[in-house]
Amino acid sequence: MVGLIRDQVPKSRLVQTGLIDRMSIVSGEIEDYMLLERSLNEYEVQTVFHLAAQTIVGIANQSPLSTFDANIRGTWQLLEACRRTSWVESIVLASSDKAYGEHDILPYTEDAELKGRHPYDVSKSCADLIAQGFATTYGVPVSIARCGNLFGAGDLNFNRLIPGTIRSVLSGHAPVIRSDGKPTRDYVYVEDAVEAYMLLAEATNKQSTVQGNAFNFSYERPMTAIEVVDAILSQMKRTDLQPQVLNNASNEIPHQFLASGKARKMLGWEPKYDFEDGLSRTIPWYLNISNGVTE
């Protein structure tokens, strides 16, 4: 296993579990073309999971150039390096439901227009279209995963709703909702998403009808921010903590959720968990790290 890592985060699950010690690590940035081409060739990489990105919407709003650099330029650099490398047989691009932008007709299906309008959404729309272009024009064996909001153990971005709420509860504070609490989103537990990526990688090659295709992955269960927080409070038995609704979030798309029928039919993907199951597997990890316990 080979991993490209820009910054080593000591508290990350990759480091804490010791998995990083069982990998070949390439230190650098996804925007460094020569590094990508050298690494793909020297390690004879056959399957590529393109997970590198600046993933925080708020940071994208504040600093769009760094987001565009990583998410857009990084994508075309990697795909060009893969195109010029004979070893690569399968590539999975981690896109997002954000690539669709705002639509009146929901749920999103894979043939919906990609029309991101805010910096993060635009970066995902562009990366998605670039991947489709490399597949169509050059026959690059890339497929695209568009997931709902991922959650699970290991996420240290506490400005996200689920880890942020869990941390607030563990510290005895009321959770904070930046929006008015009413926007709806789709969710998928990280282990179900990993299974989706693996299925997609196995199905993608230069002869496959999957090449160049995009697939939605989610629980097909839109939930408001308030519903998500209430579910966490219920599982953590702290329904006495009423969420603080700030209603000051900007550039929020009111409603986003996905149809995953194509993935179920073409890939045979079926989630092993539901939202509550995922929470019950996620919360103990944050409890452990708050107590200084690592996995």
Asked if 258 contacts 148 with a C-beta cutoff of 8 angstroms, the reply is yes
Q: Say whether pLDDT at 121 is over 70.
A: yes
217-236: pLDDT as tens digits: 999 999 999 999 999 999 99
Q: How many domains would you assign to the chain?
A: 1
Q: Does residue 182 lie in a domain region? A: no
Q: How far apart are CA 127 and CA 94, in angstroms?
A: 9
Residue 206 clears pLDDT 80, i.e. is over it = no
Residue 149 lies in a domain: yes
Residue with tokens 């910054």: 7
For residue 184, the cross-strand partners are 224, 255
Residue ranges with strand state E in 38-78: 47-50
For tokens 């805010």, the residue is 118
- Establish if 22 belongs to a structural domain: yes
- Asked whether the predicted pLDDT for residue 11 surpasses 90, the reply is no
Q: What is the CATH number of the domain that holds 98?
A: 3.40.50.720
DSSP 181: S
Tell the residue number behind the tokens 């509550």, with chain if given. Answer: 276
120, 189, 219, 286: which is the annotated catalytic residue?
120
Does any domain span residue 261? yes
CB proximity list for 137: less than 8 A, separation 6 or greater: none
Residue 158 lies in a domain: no
Tokens of 277: 């199951």
240 in a structural domain:
no
- Nearest C-alpha neighbor of 112 from the set 103, 123, 122: 103
Q: Looking at residues 263-279, what average pLDDT do you find? A: 97
- The pLDDT score that the predictor gives to residue 16 is 85
Q: Could you give the CA distance from residue 247 to residue 259 in angstroms, rounded to a whole number? A: 28
Contact residues for 186 (Cβ-Cβ < 8 A; gap 6+): 97, 107, 148, 149, 218, 219, 220, 221, 222, 223, 256, 257, 258
In the chain, % of residues over pLDDT 90: 87
pLDDT at 295: 58
Q: 68 near 124, Cβ under 8 Å?
A: no
DSSP 6: S
Burial class (CB in 10 A: 0-12, 13-18, 19+), 128: buried
pLDDT per residue as tens digits for the range 22-58: 999 999 999 999 999 999 999 999 999 999 999 998 8
Residue pair 227/186 in contact by the 8 Å Cβ criterion: no
Q: E strands along the chain, which residues?
A: 2-5, 24-27, 47-50, 90-94, 142-147, 149-151, 176-177, 184-185, 187-189, 214-217, 223-224, 244-245
Confidence of residue 294 (pLDDT cuts 50, 70, 90): low
Residue 243 lies in a domain: no
Count CB neighbours of 146 within 10 A: 26
What is residue 230's three-state secondary structure?
A: helix
Q: Whole domain around residue 111: which residue ranges?
A: 2-153+187-220+256-272
Is 120 labeled as catalytic in the residue annotation? yes
Task: Kindly state the helix (H) or strand (E) to which residue 22 belongs, with its residue range.
Answer: none
Residues 20 and 13: their CA atoms lie apart, in Å, by 9
